[in-house]
Amino acid sequence: MTNWTHIDFIGIGGIGMSSLAQWALSQGMTVSGYDLRSSAITKDLSDKGASIRLNDQLDAWGIPDAALVVYTPAIPSNHPQLAAAIKGNHQVIKRAEMLALIANQGTCLAVAGSHGKTTTSAMLAWILHQGGIPVQAFLGGIANNFQSNAVIADSDLMVVEADEFDRSFLHLKPTAAVVTSNDADHLDIYGNEQGMQAGFEAFASKVQGALFTGPEVLGLGGKGYGKPSDTYRAEHLRIANGRQVFDLILGNQQYQGVTAGIPGRHNVDNAVAAACLAQNVGMGIETIAQGISSFTGVKRRFDVHINQEDVVYLDDYAHHPTELRQLITSLRELHPGREIAMLFQPHLYSRTQDFMQDFIEVLSSIEHLALLPIYPARELPIEGVRSEVICKALDASLQTEATAAAWLASHDKAIMVTAGAGDIDRQVPRVIANLQSRLS
């Protein structure tokens, strides 16, 4: 690693890639990269010294032969930038390989799981940081406490979000780890539920020390957390001032009256998961509780933009039936008796096909529902897999990018939500502007 002087990132604007780019800049390396379009992330990297290109003009690439090229598996294998790098005299590796080269040199605390890993890893990084333990972190979202998806410090202790997509987490050799959940997803990669289970089992086998597994995780061994019978759990849950309050039990340590910094019953389990790993590196339960209470969340995870007595609007990354169910449950708990208006953008044709009936079932409880067309990301269309299928089953409306914000804002008597993992976040400022216009 010390021989790297120039790293080029193909897909540098991605949330996982940009954290590595920030790390490389902090090490004094020359950083360049390609992405499809300009974004807040690419602008921030440019301000920090990275050279960003936003087109496919390979003749203007100008990367030295000795440069390391890192690419995201989210881009097609025949992408011209990747093809040119492979054809040229470059060392070319995946993002997961670079992350492992960094993380495996130190004490690696890995957070894996189908759902909850971004919030849990960000919370763990904050608990350690606010407790005075220097830590580096590579996160899958912008943590509000850090205003970044990367935490850079002079420390060998690293918090790593261990992504199961493309089997990326199998490059890691964690010192200790959490698996928050392992229900089916990414079946385009794993083939079926059994294949995904095998992937998580392979990850668990690489953990060198303690492994903590969530309340619905089966077949991985380790120490369970979250169930009433587990020695690591939350008890006496209640809601006060819109926040979950609970008693934290970590083996023979207890702390009463922890107030979660972020809403949602599922985030209590995430807090217990983060607490397990924080205790594992020697932190006391009182300091852990303080970190849980002062953690302010991750952008696009239950991200409340307007919270007035009569008008509530939030944005969330939920894109899997399980995540949507957790989101809806949290909204019902916090706003009993209120209707919900949701604008949902399905993510990936393959995921929509694999879980079509699950999406229909979980979205059937929404009083006012509209969908955007499926966000394809790296995929080509699949015949018969369209948002219209869900709309027809649930008598929901299909919106366009131009009409979606106005549709949602017109339901201002309900709790308004945008949800999805694609580019639906582009609707957020439009929804806010529509609401401000209607309410002024």
Annotated catalytic sites, by residue?
117-118, 161
At 38, the amino acid letter reads S
Cα radius of gyration rounded to whole Å, the chain:
22
Give the β-pairing of 253-259 and 243-250: antiparallel
**Could you count the other beta carbons within 10 Å of the beta carbon of residue 187?**
16
Q: Which two tokens mark 14?
A: 């991605």
Tally of CA atoms within 13 A in the half-sphere of 98 that contains its CB: 27
Picking from 176, 201, 180, 210, the residue whose alpha carbon sits closest to that of residue 120 is 180
Identify whether the C-beta of residue 149 lies closer than 8 Å to the C-beta of residue 139. yes
Q: Which two tokens mark 160?
A: 């790593």
CA distances from 114 to 19, 39, 105, 250, 356 (A): 20, 27, 26, 24, 18
Identify whether the C-beta of residue 182 lies closer than 8 Å to the C-beta of residue 220. yes
Of all residues in the chain, what percent are helix, strand and coil, respectively (each to 5)? 35, 25, 40
Helices 285-294 + 117-130 axis angle, to 10:
120
- Interatomic CA distance for residues 248 and 278, integer angstroms: 13
Chain-centroid distance of CA 263 in Å reads 16
**DSSP per residue over 287-326, as a string?**
HHHHHHHH---BTTSSEEEEE-SS-EEEEE---SHHHHHH
Matching residue, tokens 């208006």 = 341
- Interatomic CA distance for residues 23 and 169, integer angstroms: 19
Identify whether the C-beta of residue 214 lies closer than 8 Å to the C-beta of residue 269. yes
SS3 category, 84 = helix
Q: Which two tokens mark 161?
A: 């979000």
